[in-house]
Amino acid sequence: MSKSLRLPEKWFRRGLWLVALAFAFFLIGLGGLVVGNLPQPNHSLEVESFIAQADAQRVQAEIDKAQKLSSEASKAQDKAQLKYDAERSRYQSARETFDNWIATRRATERPEQDAELIARTKALDELKQSESKARQVLEQESMKSLEASQALSAAESEMSGLREQAYPQYQAAARASELRVFLFRLAITLPLLVLAGWLFAKKRKSTWWPFVWGFIFFALFAFFVELVPYLPDYGGYVRYIVGILVTVLLGRYAIVALNRYLEKQKLQEALPEVQRREELSYDVALERLAKSVCPGCERPVDLKNTEIDFCPHCGIGLFDHCGNCHTRKSAFARFCHSCGSSASKMFTDLTAQPVVETQVSTDSKPGGAASRAG
């Protein structure tokens, strides 16, 4: 089609497509603001909201108490561990010192060292007792920490059970909230899509087609981009269901249009050539010739072959000769590309030429004028 358009018309059409895109851009921006201000799904819902308040408070109190005891027991255990490590280190150091002293005493065998042996042994026993006491304290604190951990685990398990019981109610409430928002947004965007479909079917070739296409782009963007991501579960169903419906409708429209077109072509090909030419638009003819198809039946034709003057499929004339300069030209051209003569003027000259030649030939006969005078 672009090859048959005038240059300013091409630029005007490109400018109108820019108008359509700009119109769609501003509509999409406005639609984004509107969708952003629409009610959102209630994400503040929590599972704990659907647990009985008395049970939730009781179990939560047990959890808090167990956490506090566990924290205190853990600190006490760490403290006892440090004390036990210190006592153990002191005992081991004293033991090493005692062993070294014993080795020295055996080497000298001095009797005056017996009292010192008793004293050293007593001090070592005291250190051992301190280590044993620290170990006992550590074991007690470890037991308390274990009991506190078990109590905390039991309270958390009970709370987990309450959450599992309340989860179906929470899930139902969350889906109900999403469904309300979804239906509200669908009630806004679906009519836009329906209106866009009607405009596409009825008005896409009208005078105001840039605004029609701009609205169509906006409706498609609002429905498939603005609506769906907010509600992934329901949006997925809508995307595919609407896609199926649109595909079916477009497919049915295409099938019906194809059958209607084929029937129309059959009727057109049965008409006389003169009538077919009268009903054929000049721009449409140029568009089809630019695609190397017959303007009448739209079947492929080798237009570069200079021996083909008529369509081999429907018989319509594709090329003729100028009545003024006899140059081979397109039968659908309004002017001769060689001499510039008008096609309608050439047709008039051709129809009038035999009469003129007859008159001239009559006048040129010897004695013709004298005969008429006589």
pLDDT digits (tens, 9 = 90+) for 12-41: 777 888 888 888 888 888 877 776 666 666
Q: Are residues 116 and 145 in the same domain?
A: yes
Q: Are residues 230 and 262 in the same domain?
A: yes
pLDDT reported for residue 110? 56
Q: Is residue 356 part of a domain?
A: no
d(CA 185, CA 208) in angstroms, rounded, equals 29
Q: Is residue 310 part of a domain?
A: no
pLDDT reported for residue 26? 86
Q: Are residues 36 and 103 in the same domain?
A: no
Out of 147, 180, 213, a domain closes at 180
Q: Are residues 122 and 28 in the same domain?
A: no
Q: Is residue 265 part of a domain?
A: yes
Helices (H), the chain: 7-36, 53-108, 114-202, 209-221, 232-270, 273-279, 282-290, 343-364, 368-373
Q: Is residue 8 part of a domain?
A: yes
Q: Are residues 53 and 94 in the same domain?
A: yes
Q: Are residues 223 and 123 in the same domain?
A: no
- Which tokens in the block code for residue 371? 């005969």
Q: Which domain holds residue 130?
A: 47-180
pLDDT reported for residue 364? 40
Count of structural domains within the chain: 2
pLDDT reported for residue 148? 83
Q: Is residue 253 part of a domain?
A: yes
pLDDT tens-digit readout, 108-134: 455 555 677 777 778 878 878 888 888
Q: Is residue 276 part of a domain?
A: no
Q: Are residues 63 and 169 in the same domain?
A: yes
Model-level pTM?
0.42
Write out residues in the chain with pLDDT < 70, as ranges: 1-10, 35-45, 101, 104-114, 227-239, 344-374
Q: Are residues 133 and 253 in the same domain?
A: no
Unique residue bearing structure tokens 């301190």: 130
Fill in the amino acid letter for 138: L
Q: Is residue 323 part of a domain?
A: no
User: In this structure, are residues 227 and 35 in contact, taking their beta carbons and an 8 Å threshold?
Assistant: yes
Q: Is residue 153 part of a domain?
A: yes
pLDDT reported for residue 235? 56
Q: Are residues 215 and 99 in the same domain?
A: no
Fill in the amino acid letter for 317: G
